[in-house]
Structures are given as C-alpha cells and as structure tokens.
Chains A and B, each alone.
Chain A
Amino acid sequence: KNQVEQSPQSLIILEGKNCTLQCNYTVSPFSNLRWYKQDTGRGPVSLTIMTFSENTKSNGRYTATLDADTKQSSLHITASQLSDSASYICVVSLRGSNSGYALNFGKGTSLLVTP
C-alpha cells in the first residue's frame, strides 16, 4: 500500500483561478516532505521542502502547508497560469536514512490550466 496518497488525481481549472492539492501520508518516522512539479516528459523540479518543524513554506505563487500531527500537506497555487499545467508530486522522506527507499512518492496530481 502506498504510504503517500494524493488527491485529486487530476484537476482542471481556469487560468487565473486558485487551487489546492492534497497529500496524506503514513510514512514514519518522518523527516521531510517535498512538493515537486513535473512537466510532461521532464524530470521533477523541487518546489518546496518542509521539515516536521515547519508548517508553511512559499515559493512564489506556490504555498505548501504541513500538519505533521495529522500527516497532511497541501499545495496551494495562486492565480494559476497556463505554465502551471503539470503533474505535482508529493514526496515524503524517512528520518535517519539516506537509502533510496527513504523517499516515498505519491502518484501525483495532474493539473491542467485552461485559457
């Protein structure tokens, strides 16, 4: 069973609108949570990274929140642009491990921004 669940699976919004993507996880012990943006046919690009002591982090129009108690995170996109169309992947890391298995990937939310 995947330890990182993202919702919705896909989302279509109008340009200029805001949206919020969700990530729930069961990974424990928790080290950090990352949001990546992945354009079609490209590798993931990091948007934010938060440790357990951080509950919000912004990167331009992207704002991520983290509730380590409920093991939930959200990524809020403000004033969406056509270039925001991509897959957004939530990745949760195990604490105390540099292993390749330390990163737990969600399946991503596919966002389409339309004119």
Chain B
Amino acid sequence: DTGVSQNPRHKITKRGQNVTFRCDPISEHNRLYWYRQTLGQGPEFLTYFQNEAQLEKSRLLSDRFSAERPKGSFSTLEIQRTEQGDSAMYLCASSPRRNYRTGTGGYGYTFGSGTRLTVV
C-alpha cells in the first residue's frame, strides 16, 4: 500500500462519547499531520508529528483532543466528550522530510481519504 490510510471512513457518535481515529502514513514518510475540514472550507491544521515527537499543536486542538504517534508509524487522534461542533472531516497527511539547506527531499504532502465524524 503506497497511500495514506485512515480508519474508520465514517463515524457517527452521540454527544459526550469519546472517539478515536487512526492514520497509517506512507511508510517512508517521517512527518504526519492532522487537519480538520468543515463544509465549504479548506483544511485547518491541528497537529504535526516528526517521527514520534509531536512538534506542533494548533489552538484549535482543545484539551478534549489528543494525538499520539507512539512508534513513529501510525497515529491516533482521540476526541473526548464529543460536541456537535466537532462534526467535520478529519484528514491525515504525511510527507517526507525536506532539507531546506541542501534542497533535498520531497515537497509532497499525501492526504488520506479522511474520517467523517458526525456528532448527534
């Protein structure tokens, strides 16, 4: 498999429940990103991992959200006590490292198909 895989594709949950999504990046990509996308908008950055280290977290990522990438491979995004405002498409992307000093490495970001969350 050469693409970014996300599971599940769809999740319907009741308000107040916890949900967890999984992302399997392209195996040789060491960088992994989570985005949230609502209808009619472009993706909004949530968080970013380089290998297993979580290097950045957006202010959009409230304390109900947590993301992990325990062995630098797959990642999980958990939302606790879901709210209706959490309903969105959650996208994962991975990219290879680019060395800006030497100009080596790729620019490519590859997105997964996303997990559509509906909170009812």
Q: Which residues of A contact B (CB under 8 A)?
A: 4, 31-32, 34, 36, 41-46, 49, 51, 89, 91, 93, 95-101, 103, 105-108, 110
Contact = CB atoms under 8 A, between A and B. Distances in A.
B97 to A, nearest CB: 7
B71 to A, nearest CB: 20
Contacts of B45: 100-101, 103
B56 A107 contact: no
B56 A44 contact: no
Interface residues of B, number: 33
Contacts, number: 67
B116 A41 contact: yes
A35 B89 CA distance: 19
Contacts of B109: 34, 46, 91, 103
Contacts of B56: 99-101
Contact of A43 (B97, B108, B112): B112
A34 B112 CA distance: 17
A100 B116 contact: no
Contacts of B113: 42-43
Contacts of A31: 107
A44 B43 contact: yes
Given A43-B93, A100-B58, 12 more contacts: A4-B42, A41-B114, A42-B113, A44-B43, A46-B109, A46-B110, A49-B107, A98-B31, A98-B95, A100-B33, A100-B46, A103-B109
Contacts of B100: 95-97
B118 to A, nearest CB: 12
A42 B48 contact: no
B40 A107 contact: yes
Interface in B11-63: 31, 33, 40-48, 50, 55-56, 58
B107 A93 contact: yes
A42 B108 contact: no
